[in-house]
Chain A
């Protein structure tokens, strides 16, 4: 597999964006042309700039968000959502006795508080340091989302977990995770310094297919949440799984066919197909576990583990598809809004 970088016959430092790329300091990872997510961190760079720290911070916050989603799934799995009847305080204090179901419910609240704090810092950091207006806005949207999410969580406790609020809480969680992943991606040095777009290989159908697939996976997560919280409607979720599988297969075959040499797309597609396969098995496992658990008098560890893994991998499937989509809009040219997020696109006809 060849990465994008060697394709550039004439590597040149990234051209500054007209309109002030002021936040970007000189000498920031010049050689890094790898547009891939996360792994760009592995590049050796003696002078780590503020922008890199910001990206790392976003990465940590995103990781904590993933942990938070798992913690939330554990609350539902252990039927502990109402173990703490009050909100915003827990048993009238900030630190209730951490016993039984309270561990899950209050643990979830504490991690959520921490993620809220990280998001606040991130939003203001971006406000101060980020030159791209759209990215600054994205930071504040994430902040708004995390606040709304906390309030939804509180409402669902105070109203004894009405299905609709619990489902909304689960869906906003996934949307918030998407926001955090997007922020991490667009602040990554690889993304910031721009990429040589594969001018001749633009494919708007492929890009829209990726976007559509991401949207549909989100829909599938909503159906999953509805199933989990209302204990009904498995048919919708199964049909959704079928559609998602077909869409992902289309996306992956297209990547294999047209972009096997574009590492950012290839890697995301590879990860996506593996995650989807795992997710289908976990879904089947969840179903069988719930079936076997109908006579249980308390949530069994195996059931909680499998269903929690199904929720967690579901979130990963979603964000992998999202990353693939964002990368496709970045690497392949198309007159569209996505370009606003990418810094200094360099057009090199191939």
Chain B
């Protein structure tokens, strides 16, 4: 009895409430308010994307260029290791495009967490984060090459200096679109048919890291680290890396991995010194 009465009451209140907001004007008001909230919410979410519409500014190379003195230049070497249970390699399905599948006899695996022998973690971007002050270094005249081959990006992770040319090739018999998704540089998206002339682009602002996507082949992913100086490296198959030609000083070195996050260490190098800085990444509880 009690339950029924309260149910009837709830129903009554619900109906009353409905009766009040069901008037077209009120509904319109509710609708507009909710939509505005949604818009604000969406725009708030996209706030980090500044610079996307900004003009491509000239590289920030103002001031004198610091020459690397080979008489004092120091070196940082190291190894990146993975700790924890090795993740199972994820096979890429290229059946969405026959032309891609035909380029591989062996199965192709995703490069998001590549742990090789001795727990060596590959594809970690290691660079000097702090310690160089306002020093400017010569921008390499050699372009960095990114090749689209076998419907994969080569290399998967790499660095480029601000203003240094990035040359994009398409060695595949199929069409790609290349679409970097920067937060701090201007976004672009270009189609590249087979045999197209290579594309040249630059990134004027530092950014760790710019994801690169192909929307024709959604498994294609690459990451570009854009830094002002030439002191960066990517861990190789055996997990090692080497940063050469560094002026003596105190530095913060950062290691970045696309799924496992970042890790920093401080190091001091004297003239001509070689120091070893090793990084360890723990298996994340949830890799997302």
Q: Is the CB of B22 within 8 A of A99?
A: no
Known: A160-B179, A205-B19. A102 touches B189 (CB 8 A): no
Q: Is the CB of A167 within 8 A of B42?
A: yes
Q: Is the CB of A163 within 8 A of B46?
A: yes
Q: Check: B216 CB closer than 8 A to any chain A CB.
A: yes
Q: Is the CB of B41 within 8 A of A226?
A: yes
Shortest A145–chain B CB gap in Å is 17
Shortest B101–chain A CB gap in Å is 11
Shortest B12–chain A CB gap in Å is 13
Specify which of B45, B52, B181 is in contact with A230 (CB 8 Å cutoff): B45
Specify which of B18, B41, B110, B218 is in contact with A212 (CB 8 Å cutoff): B18
Known: A294-B288, A297-B90, A298-B218. A97 touches B175 (CB 8 A): yes
CB-CB contacts of B6-19 with A at 8 A, as 1s and 0s?
A: 00000000100011
Known: A167-B42, A215-B27, A226-B41. A85 touches B190 (CB 8 A): yes
Specify which of B43, B100, B193, B219 is in contact with A164 (CB 8 Å cutoff): B43
Known: A91-B191, A163-B42. A219 touches B174 (CB 8 A): no
Residues of A within 8 A of B35 (CB): 222
Q: Is the CB of A295 within 8 A of B287?
A: yes
Q: Is the CB of A222 within 8 A of B38?
A: yes
Q: Is the CB of A101 within 8 A of B288?
A: no
Shortest A160–chain B CB gap in Å is 5
Specify which of B18, B45, B90 is in contact with A295 (CB 8 Å cutoff): B90
Kindly report which residue of chain B lies nearest to residue A207, judged by CB atoms: B22
Total A residues in contact with B, Cβ cutoff 8 Å: 43
Q: Check: B215 CB closer than 8 A to any chain A CB.
A: yes
Q: Is the CB of B217 within 8 A of A101?
A: yes
CB-CB contacts of A93-112 with B at 8 A, as 1s and 0s?
A: 00011011110010000000
Q: Is the CB of B38 within 8 A of A101?
A: no
Q: Is the CB of B193 within 8 A of A91?
A: yes
Known: A85-B179, A86-B191. A226 touches B42 (CB 8 A): yes
Q: Is the CB of B31 within 8 A of A100?
A: no
Q: Check: B116 CB closer than 8 A to any chain A CB.
A: no
Q: Check: A79 CB closer than 8 A to any chain B CB.
A: yes
Residues of B within 8 A of A84 (CB): 177, 191
Total B residues in contact with A, Cβ cutoff 8 Å: 49
Q: Is the CB of B39 within 8 A of A164?
A: yes
Kindly report which residue of chain B lies nearest to residue A80, judged by CB atoms: B215
Specify which of B22, B27, B41, B215 is in contact with A101 (CB 8 Å cutoff): B215
Q: Is the CB of B42 within 8 A of A100?
A: no
Known: A85-B189, A215-B31, A230-B45. A79 touches B218 (CB 8 A): yes
Kindly report which residue of chain A lies nearest to residue B110, judged by CB atoms: A297
Residues of A within 8 A of B286 (CB): 294
Q: Check: B34 CB closer than 8 A to any chain A CB.
A: yes
Residues of A within 8 A of B177 (CB): 82-85
In the complex, what distance in Å separates the CA atom of A294 from the CA atom of B42? 22
Q: Check: A133 CB closer than 8 A to any chain B CB.
A: no
Residues of A within 8 A of B218 (CB): 78-80, 100-101, 298-299
Q: Check: A81 CB closer than 8 A to any chain B CB.
A: yes
Shortest B266–chain A CB gap in Å is 33
Q: Check: B200 CB closer than 8 A to any chain A CB.
A: no
Kindly report which residue of chain B lies nearest to residue A165, judged by CB atoms: B42
Interface of chain A residues 202 through 241 with chain B (CB within 8 A): 205, 208-209, 211-212, 215, 219, 222-223, 226, 230, 232-233
CB-CB contacts of B27-51 with A at 8 A, as 1s and 0s?
A: 1000100110011011101100000
Q: Is the CB of B191 within 8 A of A160?
A: no
Q: Check: A22 CB closer than 8 A to any chain B CB.
A: no
Most buried by A among B189, B190, B214: B189
Kindly report which residue of chain B lies nearest to residue A102, judged by CB atoms: B216
CB-CB contacts of B98-115 with A at 8 A, as 1s and 0s?
A: 011000000000101000
In the complex, what distance in Å separates the CA atom of A117 from the CA atom of B23? 37
Q: Check: B92 CB closer than 8 A to any chain A CB.
A: yes
Residues of A within 8 A of B189 (CB): 82, 85, 160
Q: Check: B97 CB closer than 8 A to any chain A CB.
A: yes
Interface of chain B residues 162 through 194 with chain A (CB within 8 A): 174-175, 177, 179, 181, 187, 189-191, 193
Kindly report which residue of chain B lies nearest to residue A96, judged by CB atoms: B175
In the complex, what distance in Å separates the CA atom of A81 from the CA atom of B27? 33
Q: Check: B96 CB closer than 8 A to any chain A CB.
A: yes
Most buried by B among A96, A222, A230, A298: A298
Interface of chain A residues 251 through 299 with chain B (CB within 8 A): 294-299
Kindly report which residue of chain A lies nearest to residue B88, judged by CB atoms: A295
Residues of B within 8 A of A164 (CB): 39, 42-43, 46
Specify which of A97, A233, A295, A298 is in contact with B41 (CB 8 Å cutoff): A233
Q: Check: B282 CB closer than 8 A to any chain A CB.
A: no
Q: Is the CB of A99 within 8 A of B97?
A: yes
Q: Is the CB of A162 within 8 A of B46?
A: yes
In the complex, what distance in Å separates the CA atom of A185 from the CA atom of B189? 43
Q: Is the CB of A223 within 8 A of B38?
A: yes
Kindly report which residue of chain B lies nearest to residue A100, judged by CB atoms: B216
Given contacts A82-B189, A101-B214, A212-B22, 14 further A-B contacts (CB under 8 A): A85-B190, A85-B191, A96-B175, A96-B191, A97-B193, A100-B100, A160-B52, A163-B46, A208-B23, A211-B22, A211-B24, A222-B35, A295-B90, A297-B112
23 intermolecular pairs with C-beta atoms under 8 Å apart = A79-B218, A82-B179, A82-B189, A83-B177, A96-B191, A100-B97, A100-B174, A100-B218, A102-B175, A160-B181, A160-B187, A163-B46, A164-B42, A209-B22, A211-B22, A222-B35, A230-B41, A232-B45, A233-B41, A246-B14, A294-B286, A296-B90, A298-B218
